[in-house]
Amino acid sequence: MNKGNSCPKGFNYVGKKCFSCNQYFEEKICYQPEILLDQVKFDDFKKSLEEYEEWISFVNGKGIEFSGEINSVKPHLKKILFFGGESLKFKGFLLSFKNGFIDRVFFDDYIYASVSRKTQERFGFAKRDKLDFKARLTVDHGRILLDRIRYVEFKEKSDDSSWDLSEALVARSVGTEFDCQPEKCLRCDKGCLLDVIDRTQTKERIFRHLFCLLGVESPELCWYELKRRVERLEKER
């Protein structure tokens, strides 16, 4: 039937009467995970994973000291799906760090910090700012998230522009949502991950979509990177 042929007995779908038919063939394909690392590297991986899980269980939900350089500042948006509609909420701003020191321990992976609109207005966080602060560390569906930021000290303030409330609200209104996550969009300063909470199911689901702050309808039709290249060439001239 998958090849477009009709059933000799006139059935339109596979059912319990098919299993005794001599025209019925069933092919089962089983997939088994395969370890690509050799045993030594795999043992090292398991050891480092155990150390990480032990460390994260110790610091999760506790106050820590953090030091790092801001990689990006973007609006923190959250979409809630419910019966009868949806709601796109502006939760403040999300700072990202490619790495940083957590209680003097170097963490070589992305770290995120959630700040309120008032905190952003007060400090004007921008890309390439180097700063120290105290915060609470939590694990937010696989990512390290710092919140309740206090005692902020700038070691170096960059000249980059910073987001304000009006710009963020405009971006929320004109932005577009993608159910894919192209790498170029994740690297773009106008692309951010959108937290989606689906409450239309029996069990609440939480996942992330990509949100274009410029409102580009499709990643394939994006003109933003081309515009930036042209602007860089004009500056070089």
Give the chain's domains with CATH numbers. Answer: 60-236 (2.40.50)
> What are the residues whose beta carbons fall under 8 Å from the beta carbon of 152, sequence distance 6 or more?
123, 131, 132, 133
Segment 90-112 shows an average pLDDT of 92
pLDDT higher than 90, residue 10? no
Looking at residue 110, what is its pLDDT? Answer: 92
Give tens-digit pLDDT for 41-64.
Answer: 999 999 999 998 999 999 999 999
Q: What is the dihedral of CA 6, 9, 10, 15, to 10 degrees?
A: -90
More confident of the two residues 70 and 190: 70
Q: What is the dihedral of CA 191, 65, 125, 186, to 10 degrees?
A: -10
Distance CA 185, CA 163 (A): 19
Distance CA 179, CA 164 (A): 27
Q: Which residues pair with 133 in a beta bridge?
A: 66
Could you tell me the end-to-end alpha-carbon distance of the chain, in angstroms, rounded to an integer?
65
Average pLDDT, the chain: 87
Looking at residue 18, what is its pLDDT? Answer: 83
In one-letter notation, the amino acid at residue 57 is: S
Segment 186-200 shows an average pLDDT of 85
Q: Quick count: other Cβ atoms within 10 Å of Cβ 101?
A: 16
Segment 197-223 shows an average pLDDT of 85
Q: Provide the pLDDT confidence category of residue 1 given band limits of 50, 70 and 90.
A: low
Give tens-digit pLDDT for 139-179.
Answer: 988 889 999 999 999 999 998 888 888 888 888 888 888 88
Least confident range from 64-68, 186-190, 210-214: namely: 186-190
Beta-strand ranges (E) seen in the chain are 63-82, 85-97, 100-102, 105-107, 111-115, 130-140, 143-156, 176-178, 191-198, 205-212
